[in-house]
Structure 1
Amino acid sequence: MKETLSLGRIAGVRVGLHWSVLVIIVLVAVVLARGRLPAAHPGHPAWAYWVAALLTSLVFLASLLAHELAHAVVARRNGVQVEGITLWMLGGAARLRTEAPTPGAELRIAVVGPLTSLVAGGVCTGLAVGLDALHVSGLVVEAVAWLAAINIVLAVFNALPAAPLDGGRLLRSFLWHRTGDRVRATRGASAAGRALGWLLVGGGFAAVLFAGNLSGLWSALIGWFLISTATAEARQAELRSALHGVPVSRVMTWAPVTVPAAMTIARFLADAPFDRFRHSAFPVLAPDGGVAGLVTAGAVRDVPPDARPTTTIGQVMRPLSDIETAAPGDMVVDLLPRLQESRERRALVLDAGRLVGIVTLADISRVVTWLTGAPRREG
């Protein structure tokens, strides 16, 4: 899930919002402003309900962010690289570049999320009781009480032993500790996640069909998300298992065709050896021979024909700072998540700053096909 709007860094972790986060804000605001708040405290003007509802939805988002930040901070303390956090329609997701090194680390990273939500629920509960004792507006007390309840519900739901929920991570850490097999543990947690997902989908559609309760659609949507994500996690675990111990040097294309940064687009199109090399991206070299960036077929195509004789490759390339890089000795399993998140889906391979190769997701897929098809040695 890629971010639409960056919020910068919090506690050293990159935080962003996906456009679908607006769904959470609108949904929570409508439920509170048109339902819970007027029902609990009638007689207020409509604008008062909407202001309270919108502020409550924003605080709810902040609690989701706190939940994911807790995961990210503990993950870093346990040696796991964190790419960032993205809040979206169904909550939030902390993107981890690497996996927990031990079952104990997996447990610590997983358990801190529900604990954070539980603490937030407890704090809001105490705050609601205190505000009520001080005879603060009933709307404020009701909004804080709702935040207390929803955070406690989130803590309980996330603790269910099913991937990709935090409880699924706890289940995986237990199975990993017991069997010593990370992949087998992931399969077990993913199977539990799919089972819970189908239960939610079935229950949601049953609520719509037999009770006319449209909120069942939300349950079905969450169930579908659990099924698809749990399935993807199982596949990712199988992929990482197949690629375990494989260095980038065994996957990459050595000595890739390069393009000078000073070459014009027109000259590139006229001279590029498309009959022999059918690449869709080329590394770009600076005048001193160093790597300057990467130029793609799309970037070249976007240059108007009349501007191509005067536009250079260096003007349309993506600079090296925006491109994923790797060393020949890096492990493919560590590079893979970065490639999947990157825009170009490829990385330049550098050895002491010198370009030696290029690796793409297609290269990795081909290697996985061979590795999974090769017979396993016994003994």
Structure 2
Amino acid sequence: ILALFFGIVTVVAFLSGAENSPPAAVALYLTFINFAVGVFNMLPGYPLDGGRVLRAGLWARGRNLLTATRRASMVGTFIAFGLIALGVVSILLGNFIGGAWFIVIGWFLRNVSEASYQQLLFRSTLEGTKVADLVNRSFHAAPPDVSLSALVNEHMLAAGQRCVPIVVAAELLGLVTMRDLKRVPREEWESTSAFRAMTPREKLHGVDAHDDIAAALEIMARENVNQLPVMEFGGFVGFVTRADVLRL
């Protein structure tokens, strides 16, 4: 659309006799740039738009999204190496800047193509997996009145936990994480209770044991946390962590 718009501006400038004016030169340059970007984007290499069209056609033929994505990604990788080779040839012929751009674009396309396929492959691995399949039910809970000093020594260091659930009668009150500890000066750990330092339950991002693990991973990524408390039938049953998911 932008290429068409600037193209019309360029044609109008030429027809009006203003082809040598700075605005006409800028419009001509922008027409060329946007046209080149549009052509590049329609190359049949995933994840470019042309590659997505190719993947849709392959999927319609075989009804297998993973296979269609892999083949479209392979085409994208082939195009990427072609651009890199073109860049090397351009540099050898003396066009250093243009050749360098071809190499950078080719390298970028190759990495994005591979990453897009790996992301889909990872998601297909997670498909059908529930949080309950990966929840870590072995944890050391602490009472709300324990000091931070005791909590660190007896629960975090001794048990190798990065966070400690604060529990009373099987009810989760909150979590004490490394981030919570950093908010309290070290000299105050002995006099500060876990209840005062914890992140309360209502501020936590948790998941149900019967949720899809992909949803849990999405929450961890969005909220930038490494673990989520897992609830089942209203009770706290453990944690699911990024490491648990990546071990699949």
TM range (shorter): 0.7 to 0.9
Q: 2:240 aligns with which of 341, 348, 359?
A: 359
Residue 274 of structure 1 aligns to a residue whose secondary structure is helix
Residues 268, 176 of structure 1: CA spacing in aligned structure 2 closer, same or farther, 3 A cutoff? same
Instruction: Among all aligned residue pairs of Structure 1 and Structure 2, give the percentage whose two residues are the same amino acid.
Output: 25
Q: What's the counterpart of residue 332 of structure 1?
A: 213
Q: 1:160 aligns with which of 43, 50, 65?
A: 43
- RMSD between superposed Cα atoms in Å: 3.7
The yes-or-no answer on 1:125 pairing with 2:7 is: yes
Contact 2:144 2:167 (8 Å CA) reproduced: yes
More relative contact order, 1 or 2 (CA 8 Å, 6+ apart): 2
The yes-or-no answer on 1:193 pairing with 2:76 is: yes
The yes-or-no answer on 1:142 pairing with 2:6 is: no
Q: What's the counterpart of residue 95 of structure 1?
A: none
Q: 2:129 aligns with which of 224, 229, 246?
A: 246
CA distance in structure 2 between the partners assigned to 1:126 and 1:337 by the alignment: 45
Name which one, 1 or 2, has greater alpha-carbon Rg. Answer: 2
Residue 96 of structure 2 aligns to a residue whose secondary structure is coil
Contact 1:257 1:282 (8 Å CA) reproduced: yes
Q: What's the counterpart of residue 177 of structure 2?
A: 295
Letter in 2 for 1:271: E
Deviations 1:99-153 (A, max 9, x none): xxxxxxxxxxxxxxxxxxxx23222333444567496993334334433332222
Residues 338, 121 of structure 1: CA spacing in aligned structure 2 closer, same or farther, 3 A cutoff? farther
Q: Note the 1:292-331 alignment, pairs <5 A.
A: 292=174, 295-296=177-178, 300=181, 304-309=185-190, 324-331=205-212
Letter in 1 for 2:125: A
Deviations 1:222-246 (A, max 9, x none): 2222222222222223322232211
Shift of residue 191, structure 1, vs aligned partner: 0.8
The yes-or-no answer on 1:278 pairing with 2:160 is: yes
CA distance in structure 2 between the partners assigned to 1:282 and 1:260 by the alignment: 10
Shift of residue 263, structure 1, vs aligned partner: 5.4
Contact 1:168 1:189 (8 Å CA) reproduced: yes
Q: What's the counterpart of residue 266 of structure 1?
A: 149
Residue 214 of structure 1 aligns to a residue whose secondary structure is helix
CA distance in structure 2 between the partners assigned to 1:236 and 1:228 by the alignment: 12
Q: What's the counterpart of residue 76 of structure 1?
A: none
Residue 55 of structure 2 aligns to a residue whose secondary structure is helix
CA distance in structure 1 between the partners assigned to 2:106 and 2:61 by the alignment: 28
Shift of residue 172, structure 1, vs aligned partner: 1.4
Contact 1:124 1:144 (8 Å CA) reproduced: yes
Contact 2:147 2:189 (8 Å CA) reproduced: yes
CA distance in structure 1 between the partners assigned to 2:199 and 2:138 by the alignment: 20
TM-score (norm 2): 0.78
Residues 136, 243 of structure 1: CA spacing in aligned structure 2 closer, same or farther, 3 A cutoff? same
Q: Note the 1:68-79 alignment, pairs <5 A.
A: none
**Unmatched 5+ stretches in structure 2:** none
Contact 2:47 2:76 (8 Å CA) reproduced: yes
Shift of residue 278, structure 1, vs aligned partner: 1.4
Deviations 1:242-276 (A, max 9, x none): 3221111111223744456775532322332533x
Letter in 2 for 1:306: E
Contact 1:295 1:313 (8 Å CA) reproduced: no
CA distance in structure 1 between the partners assigned to 2:123 and 2:35 by the alignment: 35
Contact 2:10 2:19 (8 Å CA) reproduced: no
Residue 206 of structure 2 aligns to a residue whose secondary structure is strand
Q: What's the counterpart of residue 108 of structure 2?
A: 225
TM-score (norm 1): 0.54
Shift of residue 186, structure 1, vs aligned partner: 1.2
Q: Note the 1:179-218 alignment, pairs <5 A.
A: 179-218=62-101
CA distance in structure 2 between the partners assigned to 1:320 and 1:149 by the alignment: 56
Residues 191, 260 of structure 1: CA spacing in aligned structure 2 closer, same or farther, 3 A cutoff? farther
Residues 130, 214 of structure 1: CA spacing in aligned structure 2 closer, same or farther, 3 A cutoff? closer
**Unmatched 5+ stretches in structure 1:** 1-118, 369-379
Shift of residue 341, structure 1, vs aligned partner: 5.4
Shift of residue 304, structure 1, vs aligned partner: 4.5
CA distance in structure 2 between the partners assigned to 1:218 and 1:280 by the alignment: 45
Shift of residue 357, structure 1, vs aligned partner: 2.9
